[in-house]
Each structure stands twice: as structure tokens, then as C-alpha cells.
Amino acid sequence: MGRFVRSLPPDTVIYTNAADYLYLGQRRFGKPIPRLNNPSTRRPDTQYFTKLKLMRKDLAKNGGYIVYFTALQWRTASPSQLSSDIPLALRHAAHDGAAYQLAPAKKRARPKPATTEHAPTTRQHP
């Protein structure tokens, strides 16, 4: 995954489960993927969905990647959990992780306009 990260333009937005590695090992800034649980209390993070919404909004506005290192999967939500919460598309797979982007928004099918067929009116004369 290091090679993939190095190939990205310097201003690319990156969310990751290894922000410390990206900074120390790759000299890249990475924002943390929201955690399901608070690491101090080990209780569910009640702000998970709020943080996830902010991450999604940031990626939708600025583009970027979610870079996930498999050796550190205990730190944050797993890719399968993230994929069930936001639409993700796999962009790069490696032996030590994977990179995802937001999947394009699915267009909603517009309902067809209702057509009302009227029976011909017949006028009766007395």
C-alpha cells in the first residue's frame, strides 16, 4: 500500500486506519477512519455515524481515498462495515491492504408520469 500512497498527488485526501504510519513512513497526512468503539472505554462510539457522515461529505466534495491496512484492522471499522454504511468502490488491492473511493451515487429512477386514460364520453340526446 505504501507504493500506492506514494503514487498519489500530494494534495490527495486520504482517510486511513494507519494515519501514524502514513505520516511517519510515507510523509503523508492521513485523516483517521471513524472508529466503531472508543479505544479508551471500548464502548461503542456514539459519534460514529456523525463522523462517518463528515468523512463521506469530505470525500464527495474533495475526492480522495480510504486506504486500509489489513495488519491494523482492529483500529477502525472494517472495509465490510464501511461498505455497509457508505457506498465504496475498490480502486486498488495489495497484499497488505486496499484503497477505496466513494462509489458513484446511484441515480434514482424517476417515476413515470401517471397517465389517465379516459373512456370516450358519449352524449345521449333525449
So what's the pLDDT on residue 113?
A: 54
Which pTM value belongs to this model?
0.78
| 92-115 average pLDDT score | 76
Among 41, 101, 45, smallest CA distance to 76 is for 45
Give all strands (DSSP E) within the chain, no chain letters.
14-16, 31-32, 65-69, 88-94, 97-102
Q: How confident is the model at residue 123 (pLDDT cuts 50, 70, 90)?
A: low
Tens digit of pLDDT for each residue in 48-74? 999 999 999 999 999 999 999 988 766
Give residue-wise pLDDT tens across range 15-39.
Answer: 999 999 898 888 899 999 998 888 7
Q: Taking Cα atoms as reference points, which of 60, 63, 62, 69 lies closest to residue 26?
A: 69
Across the chain, what does the average pLDDT equal? 84
More confident residue, 79 or 90: 90
Q: Are 55 and 67 in contact (CB under 8 A)?
A: no
Question: Does residue 122 carry a pLDDT above 60?
Answer: no
- pLDDT of 28: 92
> Which residue is associated with the grid cell 454504511?
85
- Burial class of residue 81 in the structure, from the number of CB atoms within 10 Å of its CB (0-12 exposed, 13-18 middle, 19+ buried): middle
pLDDT band, residue 75 (cuts 50/70/90)? low
